[in-house]
Amino acid sequence: MSEPRSEAERLDGSDPLAALRDRFVLDEVTYLDGNSLGALPAHVPARVDDVVRRQWGELRIRSWEESGWWTAPERIGDRIAPLVGAAAGQIVVGDSTSVNVFKALVAAVRMAQDDGGDGDGGDGGGAGRDEILVDATTFPTDGYIAESAARMTGCTLRPVTPAEVPSALAARGDRTAAVLLNHVDYRTGRLHDLPALTRAVHACGAYAVWDLCHSAGALPVGLDEHGVDLAVGCTYKYLNGGPGSPAYLYVRRDLQPRFDSPLPGWNSHAEPFGMRSAYAPASGAVRGRVGTPDILSLLALDAALDVWDEDGVSVAAVRAKSLALTDFFLRCVGAYVPAGRVESVTPAAHAERGSQVALRCDDAGEVMKRLIEGGVVGDFRAPDVLRFGFTPLYVGFADVERAARVLARTLG
C-alpha cells in the first residue's frame, strides 16, 4: 500500500458515494459507531418539524387519514423492502426489535407444530417439534426472548453457534421447530451464510428467523431470493432512522395467512374500528401490527429513507464501499499500530465480513474512552473488543486513515 494518507485521498476522490456525506449532520469527529446509531440525515429535522407543527398541531386527528399516518407502517415497510431484498407487501414497521423477535419466533413455532412440520418441504410430525435453536453468540436480548418463547410454546431451547447449526439439525432436525440466527455477529462483525443456513433449516422442515440488525442497509440480504421465512431488524443503525426508531417484521408472502401472532392487537384486526370482542386477523403483513404506531419516530425514519430513494443508492454500491473501507482500515491498522497490540476478530474473507471491524485489545474499555476523547468514536464490548462500524453513506477513507492513526497514537 502507498502512504496511507495519500491513498485515502485517492480513494475518496474516486468514491461514487462520496457526495452523500453532505446529506448528513457531521462534524470534525470521526464517527465509526454507525453500527449502534446512525448519523442524522440533514433534512430530517425539517420533516419532523412539519409532522409536529402541521400534521399534529394543525390537522390533529385528521392526519391519521389525510397525512397517511394509519398506513405508514406498511408504506414504510415497502420502502425498506428493496434494501433487504424483499418484494412489497411483506414488511410492516413498528415496535422494537425485541418485540418483533418474539412475534416472529412464536409464530414460527406455531406454524411448525400446526403444519405437520412441513416448514418448507421437510418431513415429520408437527407435534414432535419441541425445540428452538438459537444463536449461542447472539445479542443477549434475542436469547432472552428465545427463552421466553420456548417456555410459552412448550419447547426446549438449544443454544448453538451458527457453524454448529447444520450438525445440530442433522442430529435432531425432526425435533426442531424454529431457528433464530443473526445475519451479522454484533460483537465480531462475522457475516453468517444466510442462504446455506436457511436451506439447512428448511431441509429438516423447520422455520428460519433471521435478525438483520447489523446487515440491513450495509450489505445485500436477499430475503425473497433465499426463501427466508421470517426476519426482523432495527432501523437506527445503517438505516439512520434515529434513536429508538421502530423496528420491522418480514413475513414471507405465502406464510402470511398462517402467521399467528402471540401479540394480537387492534391494529392487526381485520376490522380495527369494529371494536369487536373476538379477534380476527387482517390479511397480509398487517398481521404483524399490534397497537398504535409511534408516529413521530416512524415518520422520522420515513424521512431518513429519502437518502436511498432520492439519490438512487444501490445496496450493491454500499456493499462494495463497505468492503473497501474495512479492507483499508485493516491495512492502515497494520501499517500504524505496533505488532501485537491489537488482533482483528473480524474475518478477513469478504464473504464472512459485515460492515464493522472488531479488534481485540488489552484494556479495551480505557482505550476506547481515550479514542473518543481524541475525536474517534467507536464503541467497546466487554471484555476486550473495540468495535468500529463503517456506514458507507457518510464514512470516507480519510476517516478510516485518521481512525487508525489515532488508535496507534493512543496505544503509544
- Catalytic residue set: 139, 211, 236-237, 387
Q: Which residues pair with 93 in a beta bridge?
A: 248
What's the CA gap between 251 and 41, in Å, rounded?
Answer: 29
Cell 481515550, residue located: 370
What's the CA gap between 349 and 218, in Å, rounded?
Answer: 16
C-alpha grid cell for residue 212? Answer: 438483520
What's the CA gap between 325 and 391, in Å, rounded?
Answer: 9
Q: Which residues pair with 134 in a beta bridge?
A: 159, 180
Q: Which residues pair with 387 in a beta bridge?
A: 358, 379
Distant-in-sequence, close-in-space partners of 334: CB < 8 Å, separation ≥ 6: none
Neighbours of 350 (CB within 10 A): 13
Task: Break the chain down into helix, strand, coil percent, rounded to 5.
Answer: 45, 15, 40
Taking CA atoms, 228 is separated from 108, 141, 254, 256, 300, in Å, by: 12, 21, 11, 13, 28
What's the CA gap between 238 and 184, in Å, rounded?
Answer: 13
DSSP annotation of 51: I
Contact indicator for 57, 48 with CB cutoff of 8 Å:
no
**Alpha helix segments (H runs only) across 154-254:** 165-172, 194-203
Cell 389525510, residue located: 66
Our separate counts of H helices and E strands in the chain read 13, 13
What's the CA gap between 371 and 137, in Å, rounded?
Answer: 27
Contact indicator for 380, 358 with CB cutoff of 8 Å:
no
Contact indicator for 319, 16 with CB cutoff of 8 Å:
no
